[in-house]
Copies of this chain bind each other. A is one copy, B any other.
Amino acid sequence: MATIYEVAALAGVSPATVSRVFNGVTVSPEKSRLVKDAAAQLSFTPNRAARNLRRQNSDVIALVIPDIENPFFTSMARGVEDVAHAAGYSVVLCNTDEDHQKEATYLHIAVSENMAGVILAATGSASDLSSLVARGRPIVAVDRGIRQYEVDTVVADNRSGGLAATRSLIQQGFTRIACITGPVDVETAQQRSDGWREAMHGVLPDDQIQAYLRHANYRVDGGRDAMIDLLELDQPPEAVFVTNNLMSVGALQVLVSRGLTPPDAGFATFGDLPFASLAPRGITVVHVPARQIGVTAATLLMNRIGGDEQPSRTIVLRNELSTRD
């Protein structure tokens, strides 16, 4: 692998001049020509490790997500990528597997590799952003806010989505509406079920409402287990609102296998069903603009990298509600 010194030697100039050619500083046309020819001849490409060290900066951003197998996050990733790519940045995706330790490792790498910025969908536990902040690296939180840090944040409107979904079920004529939501310590899970609770207020007595709430793990099996559990109640629910896409798959699995599909039973889900085309009809969906979240977050990050110094913002994206025919 050719270095800048070899190029300089071949072109008969100093390394400084070679660097200037590649960084758009004024160099006379003749020397520029010489350098470019030499570089081409040696198929020279600047060593990024060296550049990153000297510049304290790279043109890579990290996108840190908890579950790479969740289409919501991959769809978001596409949004991030499109924007970053257009701005000349590359995106590396880091999967934390909801593991706080892995998250810490990746954030750590982001800092010490001098990455330009981080988009973080945090795991439940409090994330430690101190070293990122200390280095002045921009951070954008997506999907979930980050406790204790003032950072730009892009989220869906969780509470109102939960409210709208539940109200739709009520309008469809259901009364005993259960809710399967995520872990207690996850912000989005809390907010979405809060929306449900608000909608249910007055529809059922408060203690009954509470009895129809289940916390599960935001994955397919969690939705399945919670659904089974709900159906075993003395008075099983007539409808259910599930607060994330994967749990919805699990819950639907159970319902379909028992023939409990709309319009016999009501079903609402927060977040588009993956490959929804195969799901039963009559399901109410709170569409979360995953890709748009990614686009917005990346745009925000690019601005920050570009030197935007405004106080941090929180952007709440509206969801759309629909019921498949």
Contacts and interface: CB of A to CB of B under 8 A. Distances in A.
A275 B274 contact: yes
Interface stretch (A104-112, A143-151, A207-215): A104-112
Interface residues of A, number: 54
Interface stretch (A43-51, A159-167, A171-179, A262-270): A43-51
A33 interface: no
A20 interface: no
A313 interface: no
A50 to B, nearest CB: 5
Contacts of A105: 90
Contact of A252 (B50, B53, B278): B278
A49 B60 CA distance: 13
Contacts of A36: none
Contact of A53 (B49, B56, B85, B95): B49
Contacts of A187: none
Interface string A70-85: 0100110110010001
Contacts of A279: 278
A278 B252 CA distance: 8
A95 B77 contact: yes
B48 A112 contact: yes
A74 B69 contact: yes
A28 to B, nearest CB: 28
A131 B48 contact: no
Nearest to A59: B109
Given A93-B93, A278-B256, A112 B45 contact: yes
A71 B75 CA distance: 12
- Which 3 pairs show the lowest CB-CB distances between chains A and B? A92-B92, A93-B93, A253-B277
